[in-house]
Every structure is written in structure tokens, then in C-alpha cells.
Amino acid sequence: MKKFLTSSLLLASLLLSSCGKVSYDISMYKKEMTYHDNFKIMQLTDLHFGIEMDSDKEIKHLNKMLDIAKNEKYDLIVITGDSFLDAKKAHVNLLINTIDNANIPWAYTYGNHDFQGQYDSLYINDQIKKAKNAVFVDYDNDNIHGYTNYFINLKEGDAIKYRLFIIDSNSYHPTGFKYGYDIIHDEQIEHIKNIYKDAPATALAFFHIPLTEYQIAYDLYKDGQIIGQGENNEPCCPGYTDKNHAFNWLKNCGVIATFTGHDHVNYSDLLYKDMILSYGVKSSDLVYHQDDKIGYKLITLPSDVGEFGLNKIESRFVLYE
């Protein structure tokens, strides 16, 4: 996590030595889990816990989903941002404790609203670091923008079967008189390139704010030009620019699918230029939503990596009682 903007020149000297060798220890950002056939990931997104909520009702619903995860033996939960909005420390503690008590490993990244609460900017990080089942790494002031820039290697013996990039897509960016949504920054992309260069692997990427390509792909899908599943019920709201070509770089770094949140009533999965662009299913009824489209995404990773595709991604709707 970087607290201050660094000039690109300084950044270059920080990340690369004169011979082009990476001068920081990539393994600091690495987590490992054991892969097994049909490894299952539950993606939760946009829970929006905060002061407006009925805590008993929300925890009951979240536990209903976590009970499914336990009963169906999911291997990992990935939370893709906007877990909080107008929250207090008690809401942060409540969500983290509830997730952690499911005794399933869980990974976390931030959305644009998570810091709009009554706590300092490291509070969420600090609570996650104390949780016994969290698969999480962040370093204060490490000169890589954003709070989560880690990756999880799913290992089969010594081999990396799949890699999961857990990326912070940041929050807002001033554009003229308005604020747009932010993007994955240049040095984050450099970091991803370094990880891939160090050990290439097939990867999935999890972050909050969708890429510009999400709207392009959906228009093509509606026009019958590409395949997909699910629906978008609002326009995509990507970051303010695609100037750093994150889509291309992710693809060049082994990513075959990206999983985001942010647009609450969109839950499409689209195959665009050999990459799956997937929206999570909103996981609570807090803030705007569709009552019958609340739940989670289930992602299954087959042992034959070439078999991963749209049919391995499922929108699961878990409604309130």
C-alpha cells in the first residue's frame, strides 16, 4: 500500500535495477494454497455493511450463504470490494468475524466505498491481519499503489495450477470538475508483470472496478457477436481511463478471467478476446439492488486448465427470507 504518489522516475528506480532485474522480493506478496480437482471459489461482493443496516437481518443472510459454502465444501471465499459504506468499527469487526468464523480461507480486496467510514485507513487491514482464516498480505507504504497487491498460487506439488491476483482497483480520480472512478495504477501493473516474469502461470484476477472492456464486451454480447451468460441491468461504470491498457497487460500476464463488483445489478460473464469478464452477484440487499439477484458467484477450477470456461462460473442467488 502506497500512501503518497511516487514519480514514475523514482518508481522505475525502486522497482528495477539497471540490469532490469526486479529489486524487491516478490515472494513478500505471495500466498499459497493446495490445489485439488474442482477447487471452488465463492465470490462475495458489495455487501455495503454500514450504519443504515439491520445487523441481525444481514448477518442471518450472510450466514445462510456461508452455510452453503461449508456444506458444499468451497475452498476459498474472495471478497471483491465495497464491503463497507458509512460504517463504524463495529461493522468492520462484525463482518470480518462472521466471515472468519466460517473456517474457510478468505481473501479480500477493497472497493471505492470501503474507506467511507468512522475509522482510519488502516483499520480494516489491521483487523483482517488478525483474522485466523484470512489469506491476506499488505505492507504499509511499500510504494505500490493500493492496499492489496498480493497473489495466491494454487499449488499441485511444486507446480502452480492457477494463480489468483487480488488487486486493489482503488477508489476515485479527479477528472476536471468531477470525480471519476480510479483504475489499476501503472506500478500495480508493473508489479503484476514482475510476478508473471518471475513464475508464469494461468491466472484469475479479482478486483472491484470493472475494466473499460466490460461495456464493450456487453454491447457485443447483446449484438450476438460474442458468447456469454447473465445480464447487465445498468451501464458499466469502469475507471476513468483505459490509458494503461490493463486488459492487455493482465492477459499478457496469464489472466484468463477477471471478477469484479461495483455495478450492483450486473451479473454477466462474457468471453471477450479469449478472456472472461465477469461481474459478481451482489451479496446483500444494502444500497441499490434487485431483490431476486442477490447471492454470490461460484467459480470452479478444473484440473485441466484448458477446460476452464463460462460453464465453470455460476450465478447463485440466495434470497432473504
Q: Which residues bind Fe ion (CB under 5 A)?
A: 46, 82
Residues 43, 118: Cα–Cα separation, whole Å: 26
Which helix (H) or strand (E) covers residue 117, if one does?
A: strand 117-118
The residue nearest Fe ion at its CB is: 82
Question: Smallest distance, Å, CB 297 to Fe ion?
Answer: 15
Residues 259, 80: Cα–Cα separation, whole Å: 8
Contact predicate 258/184, CB 8 Å: no
Question: Smallest distance, Å, CB 262 to Fe ion?
Answer: 6
Q: Which is nearer to Fe ion, 40 or 113 (CB)?
A: 113
User: DSSP string of 264-309?
Assistant: TTB--EEEETTEEEEEPPB-SSSSS--TTS-EEEEEEE-SSGGG-S
Which helix (H) or strand (E) covers residue 15, if one does?
A: helix 8-15
Q: Which is nearer to Fe ion, 83 or 188 (CB)?
A: 83
Cα of first residue to Cα of last residue in the chain, in angstroms, is: 39
Q: Which is nearer to Fe ion, 181 or 308 (CB)?
A: 181
Q: Which is nearer to Fe ion, 75 or 168 (CB)?
A: 168
Residues 170, 179: Cα–Cα separation, whole Å: 13
Question: Smallest distance, Å, CB 298 to Fe ion?
Answer: 20
Residue with cell 462472521: 98
Q: Which is nearer to Fe ion, 82 or 100 (CB)?
A: 82
Question: Smallest distance, Å, CB 84 to Fe ion?
Answer: 10
Question: Smallest distance, Å, CB 30 to Fe ion?
Answer: 29
Residues 295, 191: Cα–Cα separation, whole Å: 32
Question: Smallest distance, Å, CB 47 to Fe ion?
Answer: 9
Q: Which is nearer to Fe ion, 47 or 301 (CB)?
A: 47
Among 106, 244, 101, CA closest to 186: 244
Q: Which is nearer to Fe ion, 149 or 260 (CB)?
A: 260
Question: Smallest distance, Å, CB 237 to Fe ion?
Answer: 10
Among 147, 137, 164, CA closest to 43: 164
